[in-house]
Amino acid sequence: MENANMKKDSLSLFFLILIFALTINFKTNTVAEGWADTKEFGPFLCYSQFSLDSIQNELHELHELQNRICSQLHLPAPKQQIELYFFKDAASWTAWHKQHLPDTPLRRALFIKPDVIIQSDKTRAQVFTYYSPQLAQDLRHEGTHAILHTIVGKPIPIWLDEGLAEYYEQDEKIPAVAKARVQHQTIRPLKKLEKIQTMGSMTADAYADAWAWTVYLLEGPQNLRHILPEYIRDFQKKLFYSSISSRVGKVHQNPDAALAQFINAMALPEESDMTDSFPPISSQSVPDVHSMPRPSAAPSQPSAPPSAQPAKRPRTLPIFMPR
């Protein structure tokens, strides 16, 4: 009887130790890492230093963006989760980046491919960013990279990857640099964009050109809109596939002129509508990380996600800078 009680006590002690160890491990993976809030939102697994309720609209928009990308490019929904990490301000993000990602460029937001993962599951894409007025814009851009990589399973050509990210980021806006390049007839032919092999070659002009060709192929003539979805499908399945420029050439004899005409035909606001919203374009480099402190308190009641798609707005002119 005494031996039975000792075994029972030992078993109880074992389970107590196990529960304690699991609790410590959980705390290490959340609180100790500085994440005050966690939440699953569609395919996104979110970790944040502040309440995620305060960015509910941004998360809802990102989920809707994933649905839009899959629908427009004829892609399946992501099978893997995508991890999102939110820092409370630029200083917190900069300090964490310096410690954990010293060999990567310091930007306002960063997409990390699964093969260089540093947090948890090495099969998941990750996005790191911080609370700023540009949070929604940054999530759309880096989120597009993460969604595409997760679904396709490998990096798509650089110009197309950045062109799609800019396209889904802009939210009905025309990059000012793209408009200027069309007006001066300096947008490079698609064949030259396809030759870009490194991110170092993606200048502001290259981003603008990539955006212009992407929006043209997705919103231009109906007989061109099948090209990008079919190319990505062939690329994903590792089939023998021709370049996008050769596919466009089979449909249109002079795509460069058609592109310029398409961009010029886009609806633009009056000059007075954008004078106060955006500074003039500068050739100087603009840093991606800014000291933009988070508001002292999160909103007490986050606004509800939109129940319907907003009406299509006139396109406006944002500043367009390389990332």
Interval 192-220: pLDDT, tens? 999 999 988 999 889 989 999 999 999 99
Residues 320 and 194 in one domain: yes
- Is 50 exceeded by the pLDDT of residue 23? no
206-212-217-222 Cα dihedral, nearest 10 degrees = -170
Of 155, 176, 192, which marks where a domain is finished? 155
- Residue 261: pLDDT band (50, 70, 90) is confident
For residues 232 and 73, the answer to whether their CB atoms sit within 8 Å is yes
Q: Which two tokens stand for residue 103?
A: 């060999």
Residues 108 and 256 in one domain: no
- Residue 74: per-residue pLDDT: 96
Of 155, 184, 199, which marks where a domain is finished? 155
Beta bridge partners of 44: 41, 82
Radius of gyration of the chain (CA): 23
Give the pLDDT mean for 169-192. Answer: 75
The per-residue pLDDT for range 48-106, each reduced to its tens digit, is 999 999 999 999 999 999 999 999 999 999 989 999 999 999 999 999 999 988 988 89
Task: Tell me the whole-structure pTM to 2 decimals.
Answer: 0.72
Mark out the alpha helices in the chain (DSSP H runs): 2-29, 56-72, 90-100, 135-152, 158-170, 176-183, 190-193, 204-219, 227-236, 244-251, 255-265, 271-275
CATH for 79? 3.40.30.160
Number of domain units in the chain: 2
For residues 234 and 277, the answer to whether their CB atoms sit within 8 Å is no
CA proximity to 145, closest of 195, 84, 102, 95: 84
Of 135, 155, 175, which marks where a domain is finished? 155
- Residue 165: per-residue pLDDT: 95
**Burial category of 94 from C-beta neighbours within 10 Å (exposed 0-12, middle 13-18, buried 19 and up):** middle
Residues 320 and 172 in one domain: yes
The DSSP letter of residue 41 is E
Residues 185 and 321 in one domain: yes
Question: Is residue 20 in some structural domain?
Answer: no
The Cα 58–Cα 19 span in angstroms is 36
Range of the domain at 190: 156-268+313-323
Give the pLDDT mean for 109-135. Answer: 79
Question: Is residue 151 in some structural domain?
Answer: yes
- Residue 107: per-residue pLDDT: 92
The Cα 233–Cα 191 span in angstroms is 20
- Residue 140: per-residue pLDDT: 95
Question: Is residue 225 in some structural domain?
Answer: yes
- Is 70 exceeded by the pLDDT of residue 163? yes
Least confident of 129-133, 142-146, 155-159, 267-271: 267-271
- Residue 287: pLDDT band (50, 70, 90) is very low
Residues 249 and 133 in one domain: no
Question: Is residue 188 in some structural domain?
Answer: yes
Give the pLDDT mean for 113-121. Answer: 57
Q: Which two tokens stand for residue 279?
A: 């500074």
Average per-residue pLDDT in the chain? 75
Compute the residue count for the chain.
Answer: 323
Question: Is residue 195 in some structural domain?
Answer: yes
- Is 70 exceeded by the pLDDT of residue 255? yes
Residues 144 and 67 in one domain: yes
**Burial category of 313 from C-beta neighbours within 10 Å (exposed 0-12, middle 13-18, buried 19 and up):** exposed
Q: Which two tokens stand for residue 282?
A: 């500068």
The Cα 144–Cα 136 span in angstroms is 12
Question: Is residue 305 in some structural domain?
Answer: no
Question: How much of the chain exceeds pLDDT 90, in percent?
Answer: 49
The Cα 168–Cα 170 span in angstroms is 6
- Residue 6: pLDDT band (50, 70, 90) is low
